[in-house]
Amino acid sequence: MTGDNNLRSSLRRRLWWLREIQPELERWKFLSQKRKNGRRAALADRPNIILLSVDSMAARHLGCYGYARKTSPTMDRLAASGVLFENVMAQTNWTKPSLASLHTSLYPSVHKTDSRGETGDRTDEQARHRANILDARFRTLAQEFKEGGYATAGISNGGYAHSFFGFGKGFDYYENEGGGLKSSSYRMLQWALKNPGANFFAWIHAWDIHFPYMDRPPYNRMFTSRRAGIVLDAATRYRVNRGERPLAAHEREFLEGMYDGAIRYVDDLIAAFAGELERLGLAQNTILAITADHGEAFLEHGFVEHTECLYGEVLQVPLILVGPGLSGGRRIKPQVRLIDVMPTLLELAGLRPQADVQGVSLLPWISGKATNHLVAASETERGGGQIAISDGHHKLIQQRTSGRTEIYDLVADPEEKADMAADNPAVRARMEDLLASWEREAKYRADQYWSDRASENAEMSVEVVGRLKDLGYLE
């Protein structure tokens, strides 16, 4: 009798499965396959995305941003056919935290990759060979693209773009020894050709402009009329920025000329790269985004290189977008931020960030629907800790240790020469309120991510330390 009851119970469960569950399961399978097919079709219509970040390339040194020297004819041409953002603020003044902000759309005080240790501020060898790295809890641009159905590749020449620092996350292929832009762009195209038919996102980080500036003919003579016996290595930079080594006018002019020659070299390589995209039939369905992690100083405010200050020559970076749907030579005047690049590129590909980001998509500004300035903050642990915030009209810079505060009118004084903090208490109070509001929001975001533990501090490998020494960061 028990056996009959068990048999009847089993039959009832089977009938219930056939009547209730199996049709729903088949329906789910059908819809799932339909979604997959639709996704494949949608992906076929989506553009490839190439993000080219050029280390240390200041917007002010490009022709399309008003520079007199012919440093950037190719980028000028691309900007004239695509979209150029005239006022883009980086979120910090040096590479590692800036790239982290570029890839996560978060400020440095949130992702916490900033650190004074590995850039020579500390004399203790063991301490300065440790580094804060991008924690695994943060979603990156590559992860967003990969989960959106894109093939992903990242190519750099190591340094602070090395995968050790967390920048390899989300990439199907990541190259730490890609060489300069000439080699990196070639390797990127090789990778793309090995993935025919696949939509791809590729990131290239080029170091060709970074100090100590290259001495490559004929570019080393394009913008220099007189050579000088100076190399801007880590030791020289340190001494100049602390007033221990005066820099003669002809030395400054020589260094700036070498820097401009390096930009022209990169510009010629971009021309070759864009030509190859055309030749290979990739250009018509590929968006190329050109930007930088920070700019470069040449004594505009008493500093050389980029790690000592938060003035415009260091924080204003280019952003040029060219490709399908981005024609017409639009120039976007309102202030935007480097953290806005990630959500912008994702939306151009029909995707949205799955992470909680601090940047916004710039498509409303490209279409003309938005015309407002975005509040931009920049921060660094360098120089005792500094922070800057701008509403697009006024800019505040504050030294953390001393509390010294500077205020500039960016409309009347775009070169930030006349500090108005002492003479305009109302403007100062408003900008200090804006800074306090931003700090509260940043702390809230940081607490959400870091409530359980502190940021990870890891020992750099011999390979990473060696590459940073090659780039002049370490002695």
The CA-CA-CA angle for residues 312, 250, 222, to 5°, reads 80
**CA gap 319, 64 in Å, rounded:** 11
Residue 451: strand, helix, or coil: coil
Cβ–Cβ < 8 Å for 342, 351: no
Tell me if 18 is assigned to some domain. Answer: no
Mean pLDDT over 216-239 rounds to: 93
Residue 106: pLDDT band with limits 50, 70, 90: very high
Cβ–Cβ < 8 Å for 103, 141: yes
Residues of the chain with pLDDT > 70, as a percent, come to 82
Q: Give me the number of domains the chain comprises.
A: 1
pLDDT higher at 400 or 383: 400
Strand-strand pairing, 297-298 and 130-132: unpaired
Residue 409: pLDDT band with limits 50, 70, 90: very high
**CA gap 406, 310 in Å, rounded:** 11
53-67: per-residue pLDDT in tens?
999 999 999 999 999
CATH number, domain with residue 200: 3.40.720.10
**CA gap 457, 347 in Å, rounded:** 33
Tell me if 281 is assigned to some domain. Answer: yes
Q: Please give the order of strands across the beta sheet that includes 394-399.
A: 376-380, 386-390, 394-399, 405-409
Query: What's the pLDDT score for residue 126?
Result: 47
335-369: per-residue pLDDT in tens?
999 999 999 999 999 999 998 999 999 999 999 99
Tell me if 1 is assigned to some domain. Answer: no
**CA gap 179, 185 in Å, rounded:** 9
Tell me if 58 is assigned to some domain. Answer: yes
The candidate with the shortest Cα–Cα distance to 97, out of 86, 87, 107, is 107
**CA gap 207, 288 in Å, rounded:** 18
pLDDT at residue 288 greater than cutoff 90: yes
Dihedral of CA atoms 144, 166, 286, 192 in degrees, nearest 10, equals -110
Tell me if 115 is assigned to some domain. Answer: yes
Tell me if 473 is assigned to some domain. Answer: no
Half-sphere exposure (Cβ direction) of 291: Cα atoms closer than 13 Å? 31
148-173: per-residue pLDDT in tens?
999 999 999 888 999 999 999 999 99
Cβ–Cβ < 8 Å for 47, 284: no
User: What rounded mean pLDDT belongs to the chain?
Assistant: 88
Query: What's the pLDDT score for residue 85?
Result: 98
pLDDT higher at 453 or 81: 81
Q: Where are the beta strands (DSSP E) in 239-318?
A: 286-291, 297-298, 304-305, 316-317
The pTM for the full model equals: 0.86
Tell me if 263 is assigned to some domain. Answer: yes
Q: Which residue range is the domain that position 79 belongs to? A: 47-373
**Contacts of 135 by beta carbon, 8 Å cutoff, 6+ apart:** 111, 112, 166, 449, 455, 456
Tell me if 408 is assigned to some domain. Answer: no
